[in-house]
Structure 1
Amino acid sequence: MARLILASNSPQRQALLKQQGLDFEVIAADIDETPFDDELVTEYVQRVARGKALFIGQQHLDAVVLAADTCIALDGQIIGKPKSKQHAFEIWQKLSGRQHDVFSAVCIATQNHIDHVIVKTEVAFQALTEQDMETYWETGEPIGRAGAYAIQGIAARFIPKIEGSYSNVVGLPIFETMKLLNKAIKALN
């Protein structure tokens, strides 16, 4: 198999790929991930994933580069990572008792091929009490997480239902990623 590079420092993405038995290098792409004004969530994740793949791909022409971006959206608005405890509480108050969407764009780039897919998963969140939020914040898990939660961790207790890819909510939709990866590798041979 060709040299595979994951253009991400995400421990969740790395763990998901290791579960698939893949050998890969990690070279994070340092690009600006600031959303544009009025940018649709799907446009945003696609732009960022593609930007990461191209940034690393231009430096490593011999490699297959896998890049992804995952974003939480509520009512069409991007919900980012919490900047503080207060910001996390504001995010949870918005998500509490509602359903939101998790979008991921996965992009695979080789020297002569680029392809992507966008995956959407719907996540239901239970109504959270002030005590739920306080207790969860104290675990440290929400820090640095889109939507201020990790479905694969303690936050699973707040999620009664999802529709779609679980691994997408973790950070990388594996089924779709493996299809793209296999297609790119076939194109190389």
Structure 2
Amino acid sequence: MGSANSESFEIILGSKSVARRKILADMGYQFTVMTADIDERSIRRESPEELVSVLAKAKADAIISRLNLAEFRTEEKDPTLLLTSDIVVVHNGVIREKPSSEDEAWTFLRGYSGGHVSTVGSVVITNLKTGARVEGLDTAEVYFHDIPDEIISKLIEEQIVFNVAGGLLLEHPLTLRFVEAVVGASDSVMGLPMALTEDLIRKSLI
């Protein structure tokens, strides 16, 4: 259950991301989890903003296709909000999604050493009772100190980098100590910007 503007509602988080679950829980919301299981690499766009928007909506549509919407639209039922999101890392003008091989993960992480990346994220909330959908974009930048090769090797060995955009796991202890600065919100880099999400939840209930 959640409450915004004193209204009761349910939340479905359309993501298997551990970081997104933690952020949403830290915001004080209880929620259920569903995963979209779409082929993200089959969806291509030139612009990172357009790509994350299309992917977040595709995730929502995939989940909605498995639901019986009539159950959510009865008069007496509180609204249910489906929250989906997507994020990409942009490095030297190139969009980077989840690395698909160890070589690619190594190239990504080595490239960040002593440099900086941008993240572009989209949050989409679909009110399953009304059918209304709201969306917002959020960006941030991360500046890095030099990252030693042995640290990159350890991150790749742990395999977690393959589950996140650009292999960028900001909150990981091995990565965090080599972050020089974050311009924007760290929760945005981790995949779910709190301020934007809170604003969209309120808007979706109007």
TM-score if structure 1 supplies the norm length?
A: 0.89
1:16 aligns with 2:23: yes
Distance in 2 between the 1:9 and 1:60 partners? 21
Distance in 2 between the 1:8 and 1:37 partners? 20
Aligned residue number for residue 86 of structure 2: 69
Pick which of 40-49 and 74-83 moved more.
74-83
Aligned residue number for residue 197 of structure 2: 177
**Contact 1:74–1:101 (CA under 8 A) maintained in structure 2:** yes
Aligned residue number for residue 45 of structure 1: 52
Distance in 2 between the 1:95 and 1:14 partners? 26
Aligned residue number for residue 149 of structure 2: 130
Distance in 2 between the 1:104 and 1:119 partners? 5
1:112 aligns with 2:131: yes
- Following superposition, which runs of at least 4 residues in structure 1 exceed 6 angstroms of deviation? none
Matched pairs, number: 186
Runs of 5+ consecutive residues of structure 2 not aligned to the other structure: 1-7, 73-79
Q: Cα deviations across residues 84-105 of structure 1 (Å, max 9, x unaligned)?
A: 3222111112222211101110
Aligned residue number for residue 88 of structure 1: 105
Distance in 2 between the 1:25 and 1:92 partners? 33
User: What is the percentage of aligned positions where both structures have the same residue?
Assistant: 27
1:4 aligns with 2:21: no
**Contact 2:45–2:51 (CA under 8 A) maintained in structure 1:** no
**Contact 1:41–1:103 (CA under 8 A) maintained in structure 2:** yes
Correspondence for 2:115 among 76, 98, 103: 98
Distance in 2 between the 1:173 and 1:57 partners? 23
Aligned residue number for residue 5 of structure 2: none
Query: Which one has the largest radius of gyration?
Result: 2
**Contact 2:56–2:124 (CA under 8 A) maintained in structure 1:** yes
CA RMSD of aligned residues (A): 1.9
